[in-house]
Structure 1
Amino acid sequence: MLRTVDRVLLALVGLVLLVLGGSVLAVGFGVKAPSWWIHDSRHDVLLSQAERTRWRDAGWWWPVLIAALAVLLLLALWWLVAVLRRRRLGEILVDTGDGEGAVLRGRALEDACAADAGRLDGVARADVRLTGRRSAPRARVRLRLEPHVDPGTALDGLTTGALAHARASAGLEALPTEVRLKGVGHRAERVS
């Protein structure tokens, strides 16, 4: 959904900028502009002296202008952060061997892999997130381990168990994975 919204917004912004920039360029090359257009001739300025000083004496003008520009800046920064951060993979393409293929929901594979990894001995919590492309997914796994568990054993159980099952069930040749292990700290009771 967010990917579609991004593309639509980028297309609209690009179209508006292309039309405005193209019209300014065309008028600059001497094309006759319609009477309602913002530029009359190649010697016309973007903002006239009267337009630039029109609201100078109004006390509300500058705070409203600055607030509107600040809101636009914050929205642009929010959009940039939303686009740049790593997203969850919505679906995975599965090769069924018949030439058509199938689609597997990314969240379903994440949940199944996390449940499988959570059943390993000494794993307090497992979180799995799929990123990458639909045809080449990547996994990011976070395991919270109990204090008595050897991290190497937990990692081996994850690779031969949960990740191997996920790879086989999705029909993937490889599933590159980044694993982060964190120990669960137990609070000791203070005895006086």
Structure 2
Amino acid sequence: MLPTVNRVLLGAVGLVLLAVGGAVLAVGLGASAPSWWLHDSPHDTLLSTAERTRWRGDAWWWPTVIAVLALLVLLTLWWLTAVLRRRRLGELLVDTGDGAGALLRGRALEGVLAAEAERLDGVAHAHVSLKGRREAPAARIRLVLEPHVDPATALDQLTGRALAHARDSAALAALPADVWMRGVRHKAERVS
């Protein structure tokens, strides 16, 4: 959901900034402005001296301005950290036994784990993503099951085969997994 909100918010802010900036530029270059616009001519200022100093003497003005700006800065920092935070594990630290260790790409293990899960009986599609730390990864697995398969059986096969192979091959002490299952959706067909 966050990528959708991110795109919609960035698109709305971009459109508003483009519209206002384009209108100010057009009026500054000599285009005629509507009667309700902030300024009318290229030599007009956006805010007059009276508008800029109207609430300067009121006790509530500066604390309100500072609070709104601080809130805006905090929201911007929250948004920036949400955008820059990595959703997936980039690499895993594999113990090679010689004390040096090796790095395994997270997407490689995700692909192998998904392929092995799809080979299980009754699994139509599998999607795997790794999260957590390099030393202690966790898997999030989404399975699409065929109508004939029992979910408990599919879960037992997944944990006994695919997750066990991934844990053993990466020399991990544990590989916790959240498994989400749903049935495959078939399109209705007309029978004549």
TM-score normalized with structure 1 length: 0.59
Residue 181 of structure 2 corresponds to 181
Residue 149 of structure 1 corresponds to 149
Residue 82 of structure 2 corresponds to 81
User: How many Å apart are 1:190 and its aligned residue?
Assistant: 3.6
Residue 103 of structure 1 corresponds to 103
Between the aligned partners of 1:112 and 1:75, the Cα distance in structure 2 is: 38
User: How many Å apart are 1:110 and its aligned residue?
Assistant: 0.4
- The letter of the residue matching 1:92 is L
User: How many Å apart are 1:96 and its aligned residue?
Assistant: 1.0
User: How many Å apart are 1:131 and its aligned residue?
Assistant: 0.2
Residue 90 of structure 1 corresponds to 90
Between the aligned partners of 1:55 and 1:190, the Cα distance in structure 2 is: 65
TM-score normalized with structure 2 length: 0.59
Greater than 3 Å deviation, 4+ residue runs: 71-78
Residue 128 of structure 2 corresponds to 128
5 Å matches for 1:1-192? 56-57=47-48, 76=77, 78-83=79-84, 87-191=87-191
Between the aligned partners of 2:146 and 2:73, the Cα distance in structure 1 is: 47
Partner SS, residue 114 of structure 2: helix
Between the aligned partners of 1:140 and 1:131, the Cα distance in structure 2 is: 8
User: How many Å apart are 1:187 and its aligned residue?
Assistant: 2.6
User: How many Å apart are 1:121 and its aligned residue?
Assistant: 1.1
User: How many Å apart are 1:56 and its aligned residue?
Assistant: 2.5
Measured against aligned partners, the alpha-carbon deviations of 1:76-128 in whole angstroms (never above 9, x if no partner) come to 454132256x6100010011111111111111000000000011111111001
Between the aligned partners of 1:92 and 1:78, the Cα distance in structure 2 is: 27
Residue 28 of structure 1 corresponds to none
User: How many Å apart are 1:75 and its aligned residue?
Assistant: 5.5
Q: What residue ranges of structure 2 are gaps of 5+ in the alignment? A: 1-44, 53-68
Between the aligned partners of 1:172 and 1:160, the Cα distance in structure 2 is: 15
Instruction: Give identity over the alignment, percent.
Output: 63
The Cα RMSD (Å) is 3.0
Between the aligned partners of 2:79 and 2:170, the Cα distance in structure 1 is: 34
Between the aligned partners of 1:172 and 1:73, the Cα distance in structure 2 is: 39
Between the aligned partners of 1:72 and 1:124, the Cα distance in structure 2 is: 46
User: How many Å apart are 1:55 and its aligned residue?
Assistant: 6.1
- Count of aligned positions: 131
